[in-house]
Each structure stands twice: as structure tokens, then as C-alpha cells.
Amino acid sequence: MKRIQSKLQHLLAIALIGGLAISSTVVAKADPANPSTRKSPDWLRSAVVYEIFPRNFSQAGDLNAITARLDELKNLGVDVLWLMPIHPTGEKMKKGSVGSPYAVRDFYAINPDYGTTNDFRRLVEQAHQRGLKVIMEIVAGHTAWDSVLMDQHPEFYMRDTNGAVIPPNPAWTDVAGLDYAKPVVRRYMIDMMKYWLQDFGVDGFRCDVGPNVPLDFWEAARTELEKLNPQVIILADAGAKPELLTKAFDVDSSWGMINALNTVMSSVTPASYLKEMWEHNDQQFPKGALHLRFTDSHEEIRAVARYSINGALAGQVLMLTLDGVPMFYNGMEVGDATESADPALFEKMPVFWQSGGRPPLRDIYRDLIKLRKQNAAFYNGDVVWVTNTAPEEVVTFLRQDAKDTFLVLINLSSIRVKGSVALSDADGFEPVNITGRSNPVDTHVPDFELSGYGWSIYHRPASK
């Protein structure tokens, strides 16, 4: 669901709460009683997720328009398609002229504006033929007010002391909360997920506001889903909840990192704050935990509007070179600046695919994805943060394994910055060539000179 709040409030809250969490002398550690996360498929670590809002992905706004672009997405380097809710949208108490896809009227149906069940089945089949996975979004915590369940199963809903149905959050006026204290609700939702997994062959689910539903439900659901597909992938819309990744979920949303980046790009905190946030999360979660890394989504104002076009690129370079599973939101690869979040969540506002005057983003992202996939240092290697002489503006870190070491430098400010990196051994690093990018200014590591929102990646074989 859209997190409705003003940008200023958002940034101040993050700066205050995040700062307190990190500076506290008592830092949350991984629970020793749950020392590890669940073992996810190996391929997921090197995967790239691509979020699609079917209504706004194209002018047609249907599933067939997605099927028509599968080759394009495959060529970009995408592995997993995450489809935002594809079910019919509620009309009663809807927000905007169209309504939120998160106000679901029927979990067993396809939004008629999107097409038919046959269209969806064809999309999944065509994706599989190209080696792409398809995960669909499940909105387990609530329904539209005119959901079929209101008539069929009114006992499924949360109610106040007067017996009136209520939303799970007072601000979410367009939805009604489901009551997971009732076993019949749990059984219905698990059976529904099994239906899409078994009858349509989807590869998994992204679960909206996962923490709003009891953890033991998700764990029970996973156990049953794995009987149908042992490789099922389940993503949690959650952050800072290590327990979710113990048994139930493969990946969480890493909200702490994107919120930290927002404060850095808004000059509220220095670039070094990202290192602090990463280290804080690393202490919270058991080793091996996977986090979705993103700068753009249906819940954020578009990155090009928040950061500028070059700032958005720099931010996504960070997410593509850090640990975790990087994600793209539809249209990022052309620098689309169409509104997202509110109002786009409640209106028809298609991606503008012919954006002009942009850097060759698709080519740049394609090369960065290829670099990541071809070098295990980026998806299985260590993250080693190294200090530099411009910590207010620049982040520098190594991605390394037994075979390779990559040095990543990213200027997260709009000003040109000169400096140096504190490396004990700087010999042997060579710049990585990325399509659409010129080589770094004629400096030699450990020295650097980066234009506003400039970035560079260097490589050195481990056995130099």
C-alpha cells in the first residue's frame, strides 16, 4: 500500500529515527536462537527483479502489452517479473478515478481491463519460454469494500467494538481488513495462493505489507506452497524484520537503505550515512539474508524527480553493485518521469517510453547487469566499505571474492569532487568499460575525480 506522507516529514523522520537507531549503544543483533535465514535458490542471488504496474506499463494497460515486451526485458537482463495486483479493483470508497490495485475485489479473478485468464496464462508461458520467472502480488491483509468476500464470507473481516468492519489502518479508507485470528481466513488465502501457483504456473509471490499478517500464517503458507513448487520465491514488503527471512520469505524490501539514500540525495545526511545504515542492517540480520535493492517503485515519487536524471542513475548504480537483489520499476530504463505513487496508484498514468534528452540508460543498465551476473563478487562476494577524503559526497566500497576485486566509487552529490580512497594496495585496478559511459578523468586509483553524480567501477584480478 502507498505510504502516504509528505516528503519533508518522511526525510525528517528518517534522519531522526535512523540516526538514533545507529548511534544507540545498544544495536539490534541477529537473534541467536534463529542464527540463519532460509536457503533460497542459488540463482536468486544473481537475479534482477523488474516490477510492473500493468495498468501503467503501456497505453493499452493490459497483460498482452507486457507479453509483447518480454524479449526487451530479457535483453535488458531481467530474471524475475513482479506483477503488481492483477485482480479486479474495488469501486466502493475507491481513491481517485480508477482506484488502487491494492483494493482487491476478487482474489480468484483477473481485472477485466487487464484481459482474461488465458491472457495471463499466455504471459506466464511466454515468460517461462524465455527463462523469466513471474511472481504476482498478493494483498493478504485486506480487500476492497465491495469484495466478493463481503457477501460470501462477512465473518472474514476485522470489526470494531460496535461490530462494524474496519480498515487495517485508519488512513487506508479504501480497504477493509481481514481477520487472521480466524482459521477460515487463513485457509482461504492459502488455497488462493495454491490456485495461482498450480493452475497458472506462477513462480512465487510478492506479499504486500507482509508484517500486517501474522508470521505463522506466512510460514504455514510457504510449507504448503513448497509442496507444489519447491523453488517457489516469496518476497516480503517489509524492512528490519529478520524473523520474516528465517522460514517464510526469501527477500525483504530493504526500506532502510532506500530511505537512507533519500536523505543523502536530499543533503540531509552525508554519503557516509549509507555505510552506517548498511552496517546496522548487517548486524540485525543473520549472514546470508537477502534484501531487495531499489531506488524506484510504485510507493515512491519517481527517482528522476527525486534525484534528477543523473542522480537517479547514480542511485541505481549503488543498488546494482551492493549485495542483495537489485530491482527496477517499469520505465526506469528510459528515465520515465511520469508520476508514480499518489496519484498514479489511483489513476491511469502510463509510462512514457519515448523519453528524449536522456543518457543511454538502457545500454548502461544492460552493461551493469551483465557485469553483475558475470562476476560472482557482486552477488556472492563480500562488501568492504573503504573510507575516502570526501565522505560527505562520495561512497566507496569493494566487492570481492577469491577471484576478483571491484572498487566502486559513486558521487551522490551534484558537485564535482576530487579525493582519494584509503586503500592499503591500489596497484592493478583498471576502469571497467560501460556502454554509454566515458572512462574516468585521467586519475589513478587511489585518487579520483568525479563529476556531479559521477561514478566509476574498477577491477583487479585477485591474483594480480
CA dihedral over 291, 292, 295, 301, signed as positive or negative: negative
Determine the 3-state secondary structure of 380 from DSSP: coil
Q: Which residues have C-beta within 8 Å of that of residue 69, sequence separation ≥ 6? A: 58
Residue type for position 41: P
**What pLDDT does residue 6 have?**
35
Q: How far apart are alpha carbons 77 and 125 in whole angstroms?
A: 18
> Do residues 211 and 241 touch, judged by C-beta distance below 8 A?
yes
The C-alpha torsion from 100 through 103 and 108 to 112, rounded to 10°, is -30
149: nearest Cα among 110, 188, 115: 188
Helix 215-228 to helix 183-200 angle (10° resolution) is 30
C-alpha cell at 382: 563480500
Which ranges of 46-177 would DSSP assign to H, the alpha helix? 54-57, 63-67, 70-76, 117-129, 148-152
Other beta carbons within 10 Å of 383: 19
CA dihedral over 367, 373, 378, 379, signed as positive or negative: positive
Which one-letter DSSP state was computed for residue 83? E
> pLDDT digit string (tens) for 57-76?
999 999 999 999 999 999 99
Q: Which residues have C-beta within 8 Å of that of residue 26, sequence separation ≥ 6? A: none
C-alpha cell at 339: 508520476
> Do residues 388 and 272 touch, judged by C-beta distance below 8 A?
no
Q: Where are the strands (E) in 24-129, listed by range?
A: 49-52, 80-83
* 94 phi and psi angles, rounded to 5 deg: -70, 160
* Low pLDDT (below 50) residues in the chain: 2-34
CA dihedral over 185, 187, 188, 190, signed as positive or negative: positive
DSSP track, 157-224: B-B-TTS-B--SSTT-TTEEEB-TTSHHHHHHHHHHHHHHHHHH---EEEETTGGGS-HHHHHHHHHH
Q: Which residue has the cell 513482479?
A: 82
Indicate the average pLDDT of the chain: 92
* 84 phi and psi angles, rounded to 5 deg: -60, 165
Helix 183-200 to helix 117-129 angle (10° resolution) is 60
Q: How far apart are alpha carbons 419 and 41 in whole angstroms?
A: 40
Which one-letter DSSP state was computed for residue 89? B
Where does residue 154 rank: exposed (0-12), middle (13-18), buried (19+ CB within 10 A)? exposed
How far is CA 22 from its chain centroid? 23
Q: Which residue has the cell 570526501?
A: 390
Where does residue 152 rank: exposed (0-12), middle (13-18), buried (19+ CB within 10 A)? exposed
